[in-house]
Chains A and B, each alone.
Chain A
Amino acid sequence: MPSDTTQELPWPAVPSSNDLPDPAGPAPDPAGLTRRGLVSKLAALGVGATGVGAAAVAVVSFQDEARAAAKAAAPKAAEHAWCMVIDLRTCDGCKECTKACQKRHNLRPEQTWINVYEMEDERGGTFNMPRPCMMCEDPPCLKVCPVAATLRTDEGLVLVDTDTCVGSRACMAACPYEARYFNWEEPLPAKRMPMPNTPQMPVAQKGTVGKCVLCADRLPQGELPACVDSCPMGVLYVGDLVTDVAVNSQGSTVVLSEFLHDNDAVRFKEELGTNPRVWYITGHGQTLESAS
Chain B
Amino acid sequence: MSTGAREASMRAFGKPSLTWWLVVCALSVVVLDGIYAWTVQLRYGMGASGFNDHAFWAIDIANVVTFIGVSYGGAVVSAILRLTGATWRAPLTRLAEGTAVCTVLVGGALIIPHLGRPDRVYELVTHPNLAAPVFWDFIAVSTYTFASIVFFALPLVPDMAALGEEHGERLGRGRRTLYAVVSRGWVGSPRQRKALAGALGLVSILIIPLAVSVHSVLAWAMATTSRPWWHESIWAPQFVVAALYSGVAIVILVVAGFRRGYHLEALINERHFVRLGYIMSAFALCYLYLTFADILPGAYVGENGTEAVFGELLVGRFAPLFWLFVVCGGIIPLVLVALPWTRTVSGMVVASTFVLPMMWLKRMLMVIAPANFDVVSGDSGRYHFTWVPIAISLAAMAAIPLMLMVLFRIVPLLSIDEIEEIEEAEREAGAAAAAAFLLAQQDDTAVEESALVRSGGTATRVAGVTGALLLSAVLGVFGFGAKTPAEAAAPSGGNSIVLAAQQAARTGAPVLLTAKLADGAGHPLAKAEVTFLLGSTTFGPRSVAIGSATTNSAGVARLTLGGHSKGYHPTTTGPQEFIASYAPTGAEPIESSTNIKVTGARSAYTPAPPKPLDPVGAALPKALFLIVGTVWTLLISQVIRVRRACRPIPAREAHRV
Task: List A contacts of B137 (CB < 8 A).
Answer: 146
Tell whether A69 is near chain B: CB-to-CB under 8 Å: no
Is A183 a contact partner of B45 (Cβ separation < 8 A)? Answer: yes
Complex: how many Å from CA A229 to CA B132?
Answer: 36
Within 8 A of B (CB), among A129-173: 131, 137-138, 140, 142-148, 152, 154, 156, 164-170, 172-173
Is B45 a contact partner of A146 (Cβ separation < 8 A)? Answer: no
Residue in B closest to A207 when the chains form the complex, CB atoms: B116
A107 shortest CB reach to chain B, Å = 12
Tell whether A92 is near chain B: CB-to-CB under 8 Å: no
Tell whether B377 is near chain A: CB-to-CB under 8 Å: yes
Complex: how many Å from CA A59 to CA B114?
Answer: 30
Residue in A closest to B615 when the chains form the complex, CB atoms: A24
Q: A146-B138, A176-B226 are in contact. Are A24 and B129 (CB under 8 A)?
A: no
Choose the segment among A11-19, A95-103, A192-200, A278-286 that binds chain B (4+ C-beta atoms closer than 8 Å).
A11-19
Residue in B closest to A225 when the chains form the complex, CB atoms: B539
Complex: how many Å from CA A114 to CA B303?
Answer: 27
**By the criterion of a CB under 8 Å from any partner CB, how many residues of chain B are at the interface?**
106
**By the criterion of a CB under 8 Å from any partner CB, how many residues of chain A are at the interface?**
115
Is B626 a contact partner of A53 (Cβ separation < 8 A)? Answer: yes
Which of B51, B118, B133 has a CB less than 8 Å from the CB of A144?
Answer: B133
Task: List A contacts of B306 (CB < 8 A).
Answer: 292
Tell whether A258 is near chain B: CB-to-CB under 8 Å: yes
Interface string of A252-274 (1 = CB under 8 A from B): 01111110000000000000110
Is A289 a contact partner of B304 (Cβ separation < 8 A)? Answer: yes
Q: A20-B130, A21-B617 are in contact. Are A185 and B47 (CB under 8 A)?
A: yes
Q: A184-B46, A253-B543 are in contact. Are A140 and B568 (CB under 8 A)?
A: no
Is A291 a contact partner of B472 (Cβ separation < 8 A)? Answer: no
Choose the segment among B289-297, B334-342, B424-432, B601-609 that binds chain A (4+ C-beta atoms closer than 8 Å).
B601-609
B619 shortest CB reach to chain A, Å = 5
Is A173 a contact partner of B626 (Cβ separation < 8 A)? Answer: no
Q: A182-B56, A222-B540 are in contact. Are A52 and B630 (CB under 8 A)?
A: yes
Task: List A contacts of B128 (CB < 8 A).
Answer: 2, 146-148
Is B536 a contact partner of A147 (Cβ separation < 8 A)? Answer: no
Residue in A closest to B375 when the chains form the complex, CB atoms: A292
Is A173 a contact partner of B230 (Cβ separation < 8 A)? Answer: yes
Task: List A contacts of B138 (CB < 8 A).
Answer: 146
Which of B230, B375, B377, B604 has a CB less than 8 Å from the CB of A241?
Answer: B604
Tell whether A240 is near chain B: CB-to-CB under 8 Å: yes
Is B539 a contact partner of A143 (Cβ separation < 8 A)? Answer: no
Complex: how many Å from CA A5 to CA B128?
Answer: 10
Residue in A closest to B464 when the chains form the complex, CB atoms: A143
Choose the segment among B26-34, B217-225, B645-653 that binds chain A (4+ C-beta atoms closer than 8 Å).
B217-225
Which of A27, A146, A185 has a CB less than 8 Å from the CB of B622?
Answer: A27
Tell whether A178 is near chain B: CB-to-CB under 8 Å: yes
Is B572 a contact partner of A146 (Cβ separation < 8 A)? Answer: no
Complex: how many Å from CA A146 to CA B114?
Answer: 14
Tell whether A65 is near chain B: CB-to-CB under 8 Å: no
Q: A33-B626, A76-B472 are in contact. Are A182 and B466 (CB under 8 A)?
A: no
Tell whether A42 is near chain B: CB-to-CB under 8 Å: yes
Is B608 a contact partner of A110 (Cβ separation < 8 A)? Answer: no
Is A291 a contact partner of B375 (Cβ separation < 8 A)? Answer: yes
Name the residue in A56, A110, A154 with the highest tally of chain B Cβ atoms < 10 Å from its Cβ: A56
Q: A21-B466, A258-B568 are in contact. Are A154 and B305 (CB under 8 A)?
A: no
Is A77 a contact partner of B224 (Cβ separation < 8 A)? Answer: no
Is A143 a contact partner of B132 (Cβ separation < 8 A)? Answer: yes
Interface string of A226-250 (1 = CB under 8 A from B): 0000000000001011111101000
B556 shortest CB reach to chain A, Å = 23
Task: List A contacts of B486 (CB < 8 A).
Answer: none
B285 shortest CB reach to chain A, Å = 31
Within 8 A of B (CB), among A33-52: 33-34, 38-39, 41-42, 45, 48-52
Is B637 a contact partner of A178 (Cβ separation < 8 A)? Answer: no
Within 8 A of A (CB), among B216-243: 221-222, 224-228, 230
Complex: how many Å from CA A64 to CA B124?
Answer: 18
Task: List A contacts of B545 (CB < 8 A).
Answer: 253-255
Task: List B contacts of A208 (CB < 8 A).
Answer: 116-117
Q: A245-B536, A247-B539, A290-B376 are in contact. Are A170 and B134 (CB under 8 A)?
A: yes
A236 shortest CB reach to chain B, Å = 12
A260 shortest CB reach to chain B, Å = 11
Task: List A contacts of B473 (CB < 8 A).
Answer: 77
Is B120 a contact partner of A166 (Cβ separation < 8 A)? Answer: yes
Is B116 a contact partner of A166 (Cβ separation < 8 A)? Answer: yes
Task: List B contacts of A174 (CB < 8 A).
Answer: 224-226
Tell whether B95 is near chain A: CB-to-CB under 8 Å: no
Name the residue in A23, A78, A145, A242 with the highest tally of chain B Cβ atoms < 10 Å from its Cβ: A242
Task: List A contacts of B303 (CB < 8 A).
Answer: 292
Is B224 a contact partner of A144 (Cβ separation < 8 A)? Answer: yes
Is A147 a contact partner of B124 (Cβ separation < 8 A)? Answer: yes
Interface string of A174-193 (1 = CB under 8 A from B): 10111011111110000000
Which of A53, A77, A182 has a CB less than 8 Å from the CB of B630?
Answer: A53
Task: List A contacts of B537 (CB < 8 A).
Answer: 222
Tell whether A206 is near chain B: CB-to-CB under 8 Å: yes
If A38-B205, A81-B605, A165-B120 are given as contacts, then 13 extra A-B residue pairs at C-beta distance below 8 Å, sorted by A number, are A21-B615, A23-B618, A50-B630, A76-B472, A164-B127, A165-B117, A184-B53, A207-B115, A241-B603, A245-B544, A247-B542, A290-B375, A290-B378
Complex A-B: 15 CB contacts under 8 Å: A17-B470, A23-B622, A25-B619, A80-B538, A137-B608, A138-B467, A138-B608, A167-B120, A169-B56, A174-B224, A183-B45, A184-B45, A242-B605, A272-B226, A290-B305
The 3 A-B residue pairs with the shortest CB-CB distance in the complex, in nearest-first order: A167-B116, A292-B305, A291-B378
Chain A residues with CB under 8 Å of chain B are: 1-3, 5, 15-25, 27-28, 30, 33-34, 38-39, 41-42, 45, 48-57, 59-61, 64, 71, 74, 76-81, 110-111, 117-119, 131, 137-138, 140, 142-148, 152, 154, 156, 164-170, 172-174, 176-178, 180-186, 205-209, 222-224, 238, 240-245, 247, 253-258, 272-273, 275, 289-292
